[in-house]
Amino acid sequence: MVTQAYEQEEEQKLTERQKDILDAALRLLVEDGDNLTMAAVARRARCSKESLYKWFGDRDGLLTATVRWQASKVRVVPVDQGKPDLLSLSESLESYARDWLKVISSDTSVALNRVAISHAGSGRDKLGEIVLQNGRFALAARLKPVLDAGKRAGLLVFEDAETAFRTFFGLVARDVQIRLLLGDWPGMTEAAIEEDAVRATKQFLALHGAGKGQQAK
Amino acid sequence: MVTQAYEQEEEQKLTERQKDILDAALRLLVEDGDNLTMAAVARRARCSKESLYKWFGDRDGLLTATVRWQASKVRVVPVDQGKPDLLSLSESLESYARDWLKVISSDTSVALNRVAISHAGSGRDKLGEIVLQNGRFALAARLKPVLDAGKRAGLLVFEDAETAFRTFFGLVARDVQIRLLLGDWPGMTEAAIEEDAVRATKQFLALHGAGKGQQAK
DNA sequence: CAGGAACCGTAACGTACGGTACGGCTCGAT
DNA sequence: ATCGAGCCGTACCGTACGTTACGGTTCCTG
């Protein structure tokens, strides 16, 4: 018997008060990085430390809840595709690229990835897994149907949707995320994002489009 | 007056003993993540904490020296290119791709990037910059001459070497680094790396090769 | 209005760790 | 043989922070 694929799909019952607290924690995370202390969260959210411990168990629990909370807010709308033509397919791809670039270059994403990566070093909690599931893997899950539809419609040529997705991912993200995480600023303005989305889509179609019958394995 | 472009190029005078200590710190970083304490380093390297403080100032100094030390060991040999033909160019690219994948999937690289990213959050030192300079930017600096030579020889078509490099970077790295940093294991075996290097090179040549005159802006 | 649950603010405790002090050992120079 | 520099091992100090405890306040319920 196979269990639920992604068990963090379980809805977390949160009162409004608790959501406020997680928002406060999120803001602190963005501002101060992983320095966030229980006292600081309590102060910012104007609650007592006792309540923090009652609701979230311990510091790791609070961190995990915060990451989940943010993740639950990011659900990007899936682009619907009926029977795609080349134009609508291209627009879908651009749209995904744009959304993804916007996500990874956002303050919250950078902050959350940073704390998840720190924790991945001393593997005591599953922050990395959560971030990955709601980021890169969620994107793949939403994008693959689009790719498959494109393939069925004879617009795309590839053997494996996973590999094709990773190519697209690489063309979109390039060095942006690692540079942001390391504190560099690769100039991700609105305009640059738009440009990148267009470029990545063109490149992907050049590699996997059915136009000229060319494609690199 | 312009200062030295990359000031961490300054050679760090290190005694053998100090190198031993930095190696010990490196091993601890790989094993335990950022938990590394001064006491642990002293124990592992069989030196006194007093010596650590005398030689490296404080904890951040030790961390910085460790990152520098590892960086100084990674100098990848530049692939020499005279007048490239398509075959030698292709081999150069594959070689860079292979080396890069090997680097980013190594234990030490993952550990070092993790600590640099943690520190980038609370921007107190320049670890992120150091890692970036010796990683992504060093790669670009070594690869661009190859790309330019390919362009001059009429083998490659692109407007901007930087943009072309970033495309290559994306095709090579894809989601590998972020997944590793977050604790995922995308199966980077020797064989997979080889396969990826070949694939990325083919794709890059499909986009920027002069063969068919095609290219996506 | 009485009783109690939930929560706030704050004080207190324990511990881990960065940083310092100091006594003893080794070894090269004189 | 003597001296001193450099280093080891360890004990020690101060602080930050996770965690717990507790008295006071608000607010809901009967």
- With a CB cutoff of 8 Å and minimum separation 6, the contacts of A84 are A92, A146, A149, A150, A153, A155
In contact, B77 and B95? CB cutoff 8 Å: no
Residue B181 sits at the chain A interface (C-beta within 8 Å): yes
How many Å lie between the alpha carbon of A34 and the closest alpha carbon of chain B? 7
Q: Which residue of B has its CA nearest to A173?
A: B170
Quick one: DSSP state of residue B125? S
User: How confident is the model at residue A2, as a pLDDT?
Assistant: 29
Handedness of CA B69, B121, B33, B40 (dihedral sign): positive
Report whether pLDDT(B6) > 70. Answer: no
User: How confident is the model at residue B75, as a pLDDT?
Assistant: 66
Q: Which of B79, B78, B72, B37 is nearest to B58 (CA)?
A: B37
Phi, psi dihedrals of residue A15, rounded to the nearest 5°: -75, 165
What is the mean predicted confidence (pLDDT) over B173-183? 97
CB pairs under 8 A between A and B: 146
Calculated CA dihedral for residues B47, B115, A61, A14, nearest 10 degrees: 170
Handedness of CA B46, B49, B53, B59 (dihedral sign): positive
Is the CB of B120 less than 8 angstroms away from the CB of A177? no
Is the CB of A183 less than 8 angstroms away from the CB of B212? no
pLDDT, tens only, A92-130: 999 999 999 999 999 999 999 999 999 998 777 789 999
CA A15 to C1' D29, whole Å: 21
Nucleotide nearest to B47 (CA to C1'): D8
User: How confident is the model at residue A197, as a pLDDT?
Assistant: 97
Report whether pLDDT(B4) > 50. Answer: no
User: How confident is the model at residue B122, as a pLDDT?
Assistant: 77
How many Å lie between the alpha carbon of B158 and the closest alpha carbon of chain A? 13
* CA distances to A41, A55, B22, B195 from A48, in Å: 9, 11, 43, 55
* Strand D near-CB residues (< 7 Å), B 17-36: 17
User: How confident is the model at residue A76, as a pLDDT?
Assistant: 64
Report whether pLDDT(B176) > 60. Answer: yes
pLDDT, tens only, A134-144: 999 999 999 99
Per-position DSSP letters for A104-132, written without gaps between them: HTSHHHHHHHHHHHHHHHTT-S-HHHHHH
Tokens 């601890």 label which residue?
Answer: B28
What is the mean predicted confidence (pLDDT) over A79-89? 81
Task: Flag the least confident range among A9-18, B30-39, B167-176, B194-203.
Answer: A9-18
> Pick from A117, A128, A173: which is nearest to B170 by CB?
A173
Report whether pLDDT(A16) > 90. Answer: no
First-to-last CA distance in chain A?
36
- With a CB cutoff of 8 Å and minimum separation 6, the contacts of A14 are A22, A69
User: How confident is the model at residue B216, as a pLDDT?
Assistant: 42
Is the CB of B170 less than 8 angstroms away from the CB of A175? yes
pLDDT, tens only, B148-168: 999 999 999 999 999 999 999
CA dist A193 and A72 (Å) reads: 24
User: How confident is the model at residue B56, as a pLDDT?
Assistant: 93
In contact, A136 and A128? CB cutoff 8 Å: no
What is the pTM (predicted TM-score) of this model? Answer: 0.89
pLDDT, tens only, A163-217: 999 999 999 999 999 999 999 998 999 999 999 999 999 999 999 998 754 444 4
pLDDT, tens only, A173-184: 999 999 999 999
What is the mean predicted confidence (pLDDT) over B101-122? 93
* Strand C near-CB residues (< 7 Å), B 54-73: 58-59
User: How confident is the model at residue B71, as a pLDDT?
Assistant: 83
Is the CB of B117 less than 8 angstroms away from the CB of A181? yes
pLDDT, tens only, B183-214: 999 899 999 999 999 999 999 999 999 875 44
Residue B80's pLDDT band, with cuts at 50, 70 and 90, is low
Report whether pLDDT(A83) > 60. Answer: yes
% pLDDT > 70, chain B: 88
Average pLDDT of chain B, as a whole number: 87
How many Å lie between the alpha carbon of B114 and the closest alpha carbon of chain A? 6
> Pick from B114, B132, B215: which is nearest to A184 by CB?
B132
A50 touches strand D (CB under 7 A): yes
% pLDDT > 90, chain B: 72
CA dist B89 and B84 (Å) reads: 6
User: How confident is the model at residue B124, as a pLDDT?
Assistant: 73
A48 touches strand D (CB under 7 A): yes
How many Å lie between the alpha carbon of A130 and the closest alpha carbon of chain B? 9
pLDDT, tens only, A28-52: 999 988 788 999 999 999 999 999 9
User: How confident is the model at residue A9, as a pLDDT?
Assistant: 42
User: Which chain A residues are closer than 8 Å to B192 by Cβ?
Assistant: none
What is the mean predicted confidence (pLDDT) over B30-39? 88
User: Which chain A residues are closer than 8 Å to B123 by Cβ?
Assistant: 183
Report whether pLDDT(B103) > 80. Answer: yes
